[in-house]
């Protein structure tokens, strides 16, 4: 069975085909920002006439719709008196010390919010929803002619009866208009996050559904037997399921990279990883602990809180195409603007003139102008030097280029600290795994910034996200609410509460393995910790929570009462893959392919070995400085570091 993963990035579209014999076919083509699906189709054309059994697509259609505010016009129905909830938010500032900065506007216009006269409380009905009120609310929605409808009523996560009546009436009155009810999408507490997520689902669903229908038609024309869509939680859905869970695709592309990084970690026997995916437009930081990706909810995408399960990913504007500029105070900045795929960095020769991180790396000699990048992009060193010099900083062009990479390194280091140090994880005890087209160039620099002593460069770093997509399991997450002090949990109560969630997960994904989780917290806390709940055993659950809380936050008071908050069931069906997927070495030349002069980030000119990634022999030692060249990415081993080729093909880099 041939499985193909396609990751549509801001600059390049990557494809990895995993063939039945374990061999990988890799293709990399320029992305097409005007229509991302065209880049995907071009990558399939570049693959050739292979019969594709399964195509896994990491799509940016939901992310782009949120970033560019190009979704459907949504009418929101909520409990009367709570129409301003999306604007009140959490009463926090967009920037703590910037009083002029505002949060992004909600996805719903204020005049498109309708209050329904009804009220549920924690114990049931407070104000009944009358038939007349259902008719009035339905008529008001119809009069606004929406493209999509969201319903989010108070306490619907526990008592969804009113939402069900309104949803049924609206679906009858507005055939063809998607109606999204909060109890169907996110049946857990916290009104703001639940309303925001429901609104995002309604906003995205028409656009995502249309895209997936068109993508399915195009895939069939390319002889694709089965199409799967990557979700933010690191699993895949069938297109019809993904169309009904549009908001779960908000981090579809970046999640594939974390799945790929976990595969590499397994191959080299390392379970504690900080990962950094540095592409052309941005860099995505994440964390793998105990061999599993850290999954959280309530994260914001483009300023919109989406509280669905998602792999923890911190994105910063420090990709290879991020533009360097001097601000009004004379400081050098990198990002957030990006040259993207069109026109791209100045060195691509496609009309770009502004200096980017890629241009700086070329000026420093880290990239070779004689070695074409993907899609036959030939690098122009003179254009890169001219672009860097255009900053008009009174320094040598090499010093300016070194400054650009130092600023980019600092931006990425902050992202890595936010997924580690800010969560109580000491990065010094972890291993850094940088990937993406430019990531391995910054591995040693980022490790220095975080006090880390080991870096793993994957065998195919530039297409690791696409490899992760090809290897991603089928997965469905089902959530429910159970707010109860752990000490008051009666025998069998937890098992009974899990039964409907297990049934729903099993119906969504037949013959899948089901794993149960519980969100717990100390009484009075405003945040939770998710722990496995394999058995209906309060003592075991309390011990697991205390251990997880201590690992995450540095303390745990066994005398403090513990509360259950939410329940989660994950249905997962693993993919049967050939044994040789990462890139096990079958021997190699073992020698460097020449030497060239590079300039380090601290301005030193040195002669560096040039070593071909994927062609070195197992156990080969590589002393820095050395440049690792590959067909999909380039890496750099800095002075003071030493690499060794692992049997998987990865290069494990440690301090000399």
pLDDT digits (tens, 9 = 90+) for 268-304: 999 999 999 998 888 999 999 989 998 876 578 888 9
Could you tell me the end-to-end alpha-carbon distance of the chain, in angstroms, rounded to an integer? 43
Q: What tokens does 587 get?
A: 């021997």
Q: What is the average pLDDT score of the chain? A: 91
- Within 8 A by CB and 6+ apart from 634, the residues are 366, 367, 368, 437, 438, 440, 441, 627, 628
The upper half-sphere exposure of residue 544, i.e. CA atoms within 13 Å in the direction of its Cβ, equals: 19
- Rounding to the nearest 10 degrees, give the CA dihedral for residues 507, 509, 512, 513: -70
pLDDT score, position 561? 94
What class is the 474-573 domain? alpha beta
3-state secondary structure of 133: helix
pLDDT score, position 429? 92
- Band of the pLDDT at 328, cuts 50, 70, 90? confident
Q: Which residues pair with 76 in a beta bridge?
A: 113, 150
pLDDT digits (tens, 9 = 90+) for 519-538: 999 998 988 999 999 888 88
Average pLDDT over residues 538-548: 92
- Band of the pLDDT at 583, cuts 50, 70, 90? low
Using the 8-state DSSP alphabet, how is residue 276 labeled?
E
pLDDT score, position 298? 58
pLDDT score, position 418? 93
pLDDT score, position 148? 98
Q: What tokens does 406 get?
A: 């130092």
Which has more confidence, 65 or 116? Answer: 116
Pairing outcome for strands 224-230 and 236-237: antiparallel
pLDDT score, position 582? 63
* Residue that has been written with the tokens 């949120």 in this structure: 66
**What are the φ and ψ backbone dihedral angles of 403, each rounded to 5 degrees?**
-65, -40
pLDDT digits (tens, 9 = 90+) for 178-197: 999 999 999 999 999 999 99
Tell me the pTM: 0.90
> How far apart (Å, rounded) are the C-alpha atoms in residues 223 and 107?
38
Residues for the chain: how many in total? 656
> How far apart (Å, rounded) are the C-alpha atoms in residues 100 and 98?
5
> DSSP per residue over 374-399, as a string?
GGG----HHHHHHHHHTT--SS-HHH
Average pLDDT over residues 485-490: 91
> How far apart (Å, rounded) are the C-alpha atoms in residues 41 and 30?
11
Question: Is the model's pLDDT at 315 over the cut of 90?
Answer: no
- Band of the pLDDT at 176, cuts 50, 70, 90? very high
- 3-state SS of 414-442 is HHHHHHCHHHCCCHHHCEEEEECCCHHHH
Q: How many CB atoms lie within 10 A of CB 492?
A: 9
Question: Angle, to 10 degrees, between the axis of helix 191-221 and the axis of helix 61-68?
Answer: 130
- Within 8 A by CB and 6+ apart from 69, the residues are 107
- Within 8 A by CB and 6+ apart from 371, the residues are 379, 629
pLDDT digits (tens, 9 = 90+) for 225-244: 999 999 999 999 999 999 99
> How far apart (Å, rounded) are the C-alpha atoms in residues 656 and 651?
14
> How far apart (Å, rounded) are the C-alpha atoms in residues 509 and 507?
6
Which has more confidence, 578 or 13? Answer: 13
pLDDT score, position 145? 97
pLDDT score, position 40? 87
What kind and span of H or E run contains 623? strand 621-623
* Residue that has been written with the tokens 């592409």 in this structure: 279
Using the 8-state DSSP alphabet, how is residue 92 labeled?
-
> How far apart (Å, rounded) are the C-alpha atoms in residues 213 and 205?
12
pLDDT score, position 455? 98
> DSSP per residue over 327-369, as a string?
-TTS-EEEEEEE-TTTT--GGGTSS--S-BHHHHHHHTTSS-T
Q: What tokens does 318 get?
A: 């420090």
- Band of the pLDDT at 552, cuts 50, 70, 90? confident
> How far apart (Å, rounded) are the C-alpha atoms in residues 529 and 301?
21
pLDDT score, position 98? 87
Q: What tokens does 474 get?
A: 């089928």
Looking at the chain, which residues constitute the CATH 3.30.1490 domain(s)?
A: 474-573
Average pLDDT over residues 429-440: 94
pLDDT score, position 338? 87
3-state secondary structure of 295: strand
């Amino acid at each position: 069975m041939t499985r193909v993963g396609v990751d549509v990035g801001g600059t390049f579209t990557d494809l990895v085909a995993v063939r039945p014999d374990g061999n990988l076919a890799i293709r990399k083509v320029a992305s097409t920002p005007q229509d991302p699906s065209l880049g995907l189709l071009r990558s399939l054309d570049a693959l050739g006439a292979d019969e594709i059994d399964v195509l896994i697509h990491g799509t940016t259609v939901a992310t782009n719709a949120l970033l560019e505010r190009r979704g459907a016009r949504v009418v929101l129905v909520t409990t009367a008196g709570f129409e301003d909830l999306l604007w009140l938010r959490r009463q926090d500032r967009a920037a703590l010390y910037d009083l002029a900065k505002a949060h992004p506007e909600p996805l719903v216009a204020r005049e498109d919010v309708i209050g329904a006269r009804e009220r549920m409380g924690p114990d049931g009905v407070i104000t009944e929803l009358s038939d007349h009120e259902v008719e009035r609310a339905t008529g008001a929605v119809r009069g606004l002619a929406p493209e999509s409808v969201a319903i989010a009523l108070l306490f619907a996560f526990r008592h969804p009866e009113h939402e069900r009546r309104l949803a049924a009436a609206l679906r009858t009155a507005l055939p063809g208009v998607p109606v999204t009810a909060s109890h169907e999408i996110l049946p857990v507490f916290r009104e703001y996050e639940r309303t925001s997520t429901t609104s995002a689902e309604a906003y995205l669903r028409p656009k995502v559904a249309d895209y997936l229908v068109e993508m399915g038609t195009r895939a069939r024309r390319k002889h694709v037997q089965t199409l799967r869509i990557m979700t933010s939680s690191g699993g895949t859905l069938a297109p019809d399921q993904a169309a009904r869970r549009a908001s779960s695709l908000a981090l579809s592309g970046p999640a594939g990279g974390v799945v790929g990084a976990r595969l590499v970690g397994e191959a080299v026997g390392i379970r504690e990883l900080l990962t950094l995916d540095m592409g052309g437009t941005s860099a995505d930081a994440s964390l793998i602990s105990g061999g599993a990706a850290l999954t959280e909810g309530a994260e914001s995408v483009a300023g919109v809180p989406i509280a669905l399960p998602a792999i923890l990913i911190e994105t910063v504007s420090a990709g290879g195409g991020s533009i360097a500029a001097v601000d009004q105070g004379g400081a050098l900045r990198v990002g957030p603007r990006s040259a993207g795929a069109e026109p791209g960095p100045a060195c691509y020769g496609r009309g770009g003139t502004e200096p980017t991180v890629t241009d700086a790396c070329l000026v420093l000699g880290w990239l070779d102008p004689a070695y074409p990048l993907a899609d036959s992009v030939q690098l122009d060193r003179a254009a890169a030097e001219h672009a860097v010099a255009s900053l008009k900083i009174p320094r040598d062009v090499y010093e300016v280029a070194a400054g650009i990479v130092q600023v980019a390194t600092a931006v990425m280091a902050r992202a890595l600290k936010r997924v580690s140090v800010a969560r109580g994880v000491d990065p010094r005890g972890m291993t850094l795994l940088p990937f993406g087209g430019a990531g391995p160039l910054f591995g040693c620099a980022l490790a220095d910034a975080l006090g880390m002593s080991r870096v793993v460069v994957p065998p195919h770093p530039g297409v690791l996200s696409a490899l992760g997509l090809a290897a991603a399991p089928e997965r469905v997450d089902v959530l429910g609410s159970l707010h109860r002090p752990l000490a008051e949990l009666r025998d069998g109560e937890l098992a009974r509460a899990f039964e409907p969630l297990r049934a729903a997960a099993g119906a969504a994904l037949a013959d899948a393995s089901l794993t149960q989780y519980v969100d717990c917290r100390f009484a009075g806390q405003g945040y939770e910790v998710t722990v496995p709940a394999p058995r209906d055993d309060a003592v075991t659950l309390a011990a697991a929570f205390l251990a997880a809380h201590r690992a995450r936050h540095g303390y745990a008071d066994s005398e403090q009462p513990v509360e259950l908050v939410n329940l989660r069931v994950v249905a997962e069906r693993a993919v049967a893959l050939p044994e040789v997927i990462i890139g096990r070495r079958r021997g190699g030349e073992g020698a460097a392919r020449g030497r060239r002069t590079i300039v380090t980030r601290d301005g030193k000119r040195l002669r560096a070995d040039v070593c071909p990634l994927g062609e070195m022999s197992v156990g080969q030692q590589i002393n820095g400085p050395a440049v690792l060249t590959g067909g999909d990415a380039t890496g750099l081993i800095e002075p003071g570091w030493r690499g060794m080729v692992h049997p998987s093909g990865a290069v494990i880099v440690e301090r000399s």
